[in-house]
Amino acid sequence: MSFIQSFGAAETVTGSCHFLQLDNGPNILIDCGYFQGENEEQTYAPFDFDPNDVDIVLLTHGHLDHVGRVPKLVKEGFDGRLIALRATMDLAEVILKDSAKIAEEDYKTAMKKARRVGGEKQIPPPIYTSDDVKAVFDLIIQYANYNRAIKLTPDVTVTFRNAGHILGSATLQIDINEDGHKKTLVFSGDLGSRRDLIMTPPDTVTTADALYIESTYGDRDHSPLDETITEFKDIIINTLNNRGNVLIPSFAVERTQEVLLLLKEMYYDKELPPCKVYLDSPMAIRATQIYNHYHAELNDTAQHILLRDGAIFEFPYLQYSLKNKDSMRINKQEEGCIIIAGSGMCTGGRILHHFKHRLWDERNSVIFVGFQVQGSLGRQLIDGAESIQIFNETINVNAQIHTLNGFSAHADQTDLLAWMSEFEQLGKVYLIHGEAEKQAVFKGVIQEQLDKPVHIVKYGEKVYV
């Protein structure tokens, strides 16, 4: 029998990686992502399967926790077909190049320290290099289009449906004919909210004998978007009027673009006090350019702004900080700035330097606009840490810490249930991509409201389909 094994995003949010082995082939890997937060060490562990055995890789979207280990997969033997939307690969290229750069820089730093004590042999090589990332794009890449079936073999097709999560995000519908028996497997990917500021709502899928669905927010609903926007504006206005600065740790893809859109609207509505808005992330700057390029895939609001202004995100207060020296100059400005920088979970990147310079000042505010995985520095801050360690220095947390989950690019419980209820035929439901305690809540809600059998997927277990 055919079966699926999940070697990531099983009772945890990150590391998405699902291996579908079909009786008559091919062997299909759905995503191959980084583990983040408390599970980060699993990123560097050997794969639980032989990369040479993978025939096809399907990517649901370009976030690091879904594509971050693809260069490692190629480095260790995969040389088959890679299928994704073109926008996904454009974003993935930006994200993977940044990931390789960080890995290479961390290796150089570790080696420099190790040489002082003769410990060079103790330092493992980087997980992959920039050349390994290039090798990914030397593969046979087949670009998908939404709602057009791609034949993988005479008996297996895959159709990419719009997941509404980020640019190029997809739900995968895999139709299989095994010895005259037809079945449909659906992998939701990360589903977007129906109230997203930029993306269109997720497409409806009608049939699934087995549904693998994300459950990041399966235990609760987000705050109402209009309330979240009001709170966001109030924090910005009050902080700037109090001669403070606003720090926004933000993911380069989707969340940054939403924040820019809101600040632009505040500017044109004359709600934004005079200030400088710094987008201090080369990766986010490039991602914003990609969003501009694929503007036709964005929602009506974005189309209206583009038609009105000739640009979706740019406005007079906005400055791009591309180089390190541009970023360092920001620290000379004592007040009146909004700094948007990565990484989104504060596990690295330029946001750490801004924390070092500004987190101790009670006039300043930090706005978290994205999910903070367990074990990340961002999670420590939203959980109330009074001090944190940055660059081997203790920094007191005196700035005001705000968490706004209404901006989430993930569907909440109501969104997930509404999307599932649109299936005309739905068999068993398998929960992935969520923390275990939240999945337990979501399982009970699905059983109660949709009356469907539900299973929480364990790491590495064989699920026969």
Q: Domain limits of the chain?
A: 3-220+409-464, 225-407
Render pLDDT for 15-42 as a digit per residue (tens, 0 to 9).
999 999 999 889 999 999 999 888 999 9
Average pLDDT over residues 408-416: 93
Question: 370 pLDDT exceeds 90?
Answer: no
Render pLDDT for 233-277 as a digit per residue (tens, 0 to 9).
999 999 999 999 999 998 899 999 999 999 999 999 999 999 999
Burial of 232 (0-12, 13-18, 19+ CB in 10 A): buried
**Distances in whole angstroms, Cα of residue 217 to Cα of each of 191, 248, 406, 433, 448:** 11, 22, 11, 10, 17
Question: 131 pLDDT exceeds 90?
Answer: yes
**Residue 340 has what DSSP assignment?**
E
Find the helix packing angle between 86-115 and 282-293, rounded to 10°: 170
pLDDT band at 151 (very low <50, low <70, confident <90, very high): very high
d(CA 51, CA 329): 45
Question: 375 pLDDT exceeds 90?
Answer: no
Asked if 111 contacts 123 with a C-beta cutoff of 8 angstroms, the reply is: yes
> What does the radius of gyration of the chain's CA atoms come to, in whole angstroms?
22
Average pLDDT over residues 124-130: 95
Encoded amino acid at 99, one letter: S
Question: What is residue 373's predicted lDDT score, i.e. its pLDDT?
Answer: 82
d(CA 146, CA 155): 20
Asked if 201 contacts 239 with a C-beta cutoff of 8 angstroms, the reply is: no
Question: What is residue 180's predicted lDDT score, i.e. its pLDDT?
Answer: 85
**Bond from prior residue into 343 cis (ω within 30 degrees of 0):** yes
Question: What is residue 423's predicted lDDT score, i.e. its pLDDT?
Answer: 98
The hierarchical CATH code for the domain 3-220+409-464 is: 3.60.15.10
**Other beta carbons less than 10 A from residue 154's beta carbon:** 8
Question: 408 pLDDT exceeds 90?
Answer: no
Question: What is residue 285's predicted lDDT score, i.e. its pLDDT?
Answer: 96
Question: What is residue 178's predicted lDDT score, i.e. its pLDDT?
Answer: 87
Encoded amino acid at 386, one letter: E
Sign of the Cα pseudo-torsion (403, 407, 411, 413, in order)? positive
Question: What is residue 273's predicted lDDT score, i.e. its pLDDT?
Answer: 97
pLDDT band at 371 (very low <50, low <70, confident <90, very high): confident
Percent of the chain beyond pLDDT 70? 100
Tokens of 367: 């706005």
**Residue 253 has what DSSP assignment?**
T
> 24 or 169: which carries more pLDDT confidence?
169
State the Cα torsion 340-344-349-351 to the nearest 10°: 40
Average pLDDT over residues 97-109: 92
Q: Give me the residue label for tokens 């337990």.
A: 440
d(CA 409, CA 30): 20
Question: 348 pLDDT exceeds 90?
Answer: no
Q: Is 152 helix (H, G, I), strand (E, B) or coil?
A: strand
CA proximity to 57, closest of 43, 44, 46, 71: 71
| CATH architecture, domain 225-407 | 3-Layer(aba) Sandwich (3.40)
Query: Which bin fits 12, alpha (ψ -120 to 50), beta or left (φ > 0)?
Result: beta
**Distances in whole angstroms, Cα of residue 417 to Cα of each of 188, 279, 346, 428:** 13, 36, 31, 14
pLDDT band at 215 (very low <50, low <70, confident <90, very high): very high
Q: Give me the residue label for tokens 């400005």.
A: 333
Question: 407 pLDDT exceeds 90?
Answer: no
Asked if 198 contacts 425 with a C-beta cutoff of 8 angstroms, the reply is: no
pTM of the model: 0.92
d(CA 220, CA 130): 40
Question: What is residue 229's predicted lDDT score, i.e. its pLDDT?
Answer: 96
Question: What is residue 168's predicted lDDT score, i.e. its pLDDT?
Answer: 97
pLDDT band at 358 (very low <50, low <70, confident <90, very high): very high
State the chain's mean pLDDT as an integer: 95
Question: 82 pLDDT exceeds 90?
Answer: yes
d(CA 368, CA 182): 45
Average pLDDT over residues 335-340: 97
